[in-house]
Amino acid sequence: MTVAQAKSQATRTNAASGDTRIKSLITLIDNLTLLVADENAELAKGLPASRLKQVDEKSQLAEMFERIVAECAVGTTSLNVHDRILREQLMERILKLRTAMDENLVRLRAAIEASNRRIEAVMQAIREQIAAVSPYGASGRLAARAVSSGTSRSA
């Protein structure tokens, strides 16, 4: 095998290895997008964010994706895609993920605000209930209770 043939073989091997990495990244993005879409559907039904079943799996997939992106940013991993179709598929999947994540952010904020309103309503009810039965006023001193006094005078 000549040097040129060896270089050509190495380039093909690197390209195949790169294509495999890209395909696994596309699969990761597809799985993450599917989970986020499921979560968005449940949030649209009004479920609290804390009760969603996708949270753990979404976090794991997101961490994997973030790690790959960070490695690319630092330069330890390269995602050079020689196949134009594969590159377009990757870009399409990234855009779909971005759209799903944007919707997810909006829906999660709404769910958090709704949870905060529920918590505040419960806290207000507790405060009112405590105030109604507490012998202490807002200053921490005994509250003066309205006392009925009779008008009878005894001599």
Nearest to 94 by CA among 152, 150, 24, 30: 30
Q: How far apart are the first and last CA of the chain?
A: 130
Q: Is residue 71 part of a domain?
A: yes
Q: Is residue 125 part of a domain?
A: yes
Across the range 71-79, mean pLDDT stands at 78
Q: Is residue 32 part of a domain?
A: yes
Domains of the chain: total: 1
Q: Is residue 147 part of a domain?
A: no
Q: Which amino acid is at 142?
A: L
Residue 55 and residue 35: Cα distance in Å, rounded? 9
Least confident of 80-84, 86-90, 92-96: 80-84
Question: 97: how many CB neighbours lie within 10 A of its CB?
Answer: 20
Q: Is residue 15 part of a domain?
A: yes
Which domain covers residue 40, as residue numbers? 3-133
Predicted pLDDT of residue 142: 74
140 band by pLDDT with thresholds 50, 70 and 90: confident
Predicted pLDDT of residue 99: 97
Position with higher pLDDT, 44 vs 151:
44
Question: 111 and 48 in contact (C-beta within 8 Å)?
Answer: yes
Predicted pLDDT of residue 139: 75
Q: Is residue 154 part of a domain?
A: no
Across the range 109-119, mean pLDDT stands at 89
Angle between helix axes 3-44 and 55-74 (nearest 10 degrees) is 150
Predicted pLDDT of residue 152: 58
Q: Provide DSSP, 54-87.
A: THHHHHHHHHHHHHHHHHHHHTSS------HHHH
Q: Check pLDDT > 60 for residue 97.
A: yes
Q: Is residue 42 part of a domain?
A: yes
Q: Is residue 140 part of a domain?
A: no
Q: Check pLDDT > 50 for residue 17.
A: yes
